Amino acid sequence: MTATAKSLRAFLDAAPSVALVEVAEARGSTPREKGAWMLVSPQRIFGTIGGGQLEFMAIDTARAMLAGSSKRSTVMEHVTGDPVPARYLDHTSETKDSLTLDIPLGPEIGQCCGGRVEVAVRNVDEAMRADLLAGAEASDAGRPHVYVFGGGHVGQALASAFALLPLNVVVVETRADALEGMPDNVVTRLTPMPEEMVREAPSGSAFVVLTHDHALDFLIVAEALKRDDTCYVGMIGSKTKKATFRSWFLKTAGGSDEQFAGLICPIGGDAVKDKRPAVIAALAAAEIMTALVRAN
C-alpha cells in the first residue's frame, strides 16, 4: 500500500463517521481547483480545499451534517459566529446525505480571492471509502519519479525535501550506511551499479546526481543524458566539473552536444551563493519540481 493510501486508511479506520468535501466548480480566482477534496470527521480532517474561511465554513457544514443537525443557515455558522447566509446554499441539491454550497469568495465571508466556488459535501459510505482508497493508490502510482543518486549530506537533505512533495522518490547508493535515516516514504536502493537504475526508470523521470565519486557521477549522468524521455538531469558541482564532464562525455562516452545541453549543473541555479546542504536541497527541489510540473 502506498504512503497516501496508508495515511488515508488510518484516518478512515479511526473515523466511523466521515464527510467528503469536494470542490465541484471553481470560477475565477480560487484557493484550489475543481476536484480538490478533503475528508472531515468530528475530530479531524484529511487534506484541504485551500484553507481560509471557505474551508472553515465547509468543515462546519460537514460536521453539522455528521451530527445530524439541520443544514440550514442557523447551523452552518461562519468562524466569526455569524450565520452563513441562506443564499450560499444550493438547496436544489440538498438531501439527507449531501448538499452543495455556492460561495462567493469576497467580503461576505472575509475572503478576497474574488472567485466563486461550489463545494459538495457528502456523507462517506462503505463504497465511497473503497473508492477513495483505490483512488489514493492510483494517484500515488501516477506520481512522477525522482531518482537521487547519493545519500550524503545533500542527498539526505534532498530526500527530506522531496518526501513532502507528491513524488515517488528513490535514493540510490553504493554504500549501505549512507541510506540510513531516510524518510519512511522514500524508497532506497543499494547497488554496486547505480547507472542500471537509470535504465530501469520510467519515462518522464527526473535524475539528480550527487554521489561521493566524480567518476561515478559521470557514468550515471551519461546514462541519463542518452535517454530521450527524461524530465530533468542534474549534477551537483562547479563550472569546472561540468566542463570536465563535457570533455569526457563527448570524447570518451560517445555523447553529443545536443545531449549534453540537457544537463543542469550546478543544481539549484547559481543565484544564491549558499552551499549549505539544506539550502542546496531547497533550491534544487524547487527547480526539479518546476521541471516536473511543466512536463506534465
Any idea which of 70-74, 101-105, 156-160, 230-234 has the lowest mean pLDDT? 70-74
* Residue 114 placed within a domain: yes
Number of domains in the chain: 2
Query: Do 90 and 204 belong to one domain?
Result: no
Axis crossing angle, helix 239-251 with helix 214-225, rounded to the nearest 10: 60
Query: Do 152 and 43 belong to one domain?
Result: no
Is the Cβ–Cβ distance between 25 and 100 less than 8 Å?
no
Q: What is the extent of the structural domain holding 78?
A: 19-123
Q: How far apart are CA 231 and CA 84, in angstroms?
A: 47
DSSP secondary structure letters along 112-166: ----EEEEEEEE--HHHHHHHHHHHHHHHHTSPEEEEE--SHHHHHHHHHHTTSS
96 confidence band (pLDDT: 50, 70, 90) = low
pTM flag (> 0.75) = yes
Question: Among the three residues 123, 150, 171, which one is the final residue of a domain in this structure?
Answer: 123
Torsional class of 178: left (φ above 0), alpha (ψ -120 to 50), beta (otherwise): alpha
Query: Do 174 and 100 belong to one domain?
Result: no
Among candidates 53, 22, 54, 51, which has minimal Cα distance to 119?
22
Query: Do 90 and 203 belong to one domain?
Result: no
- The pLDDT of residue 81 is 44
- The pLDDT of residue 70 is 47
31 secondary structure, DSSP code:
S
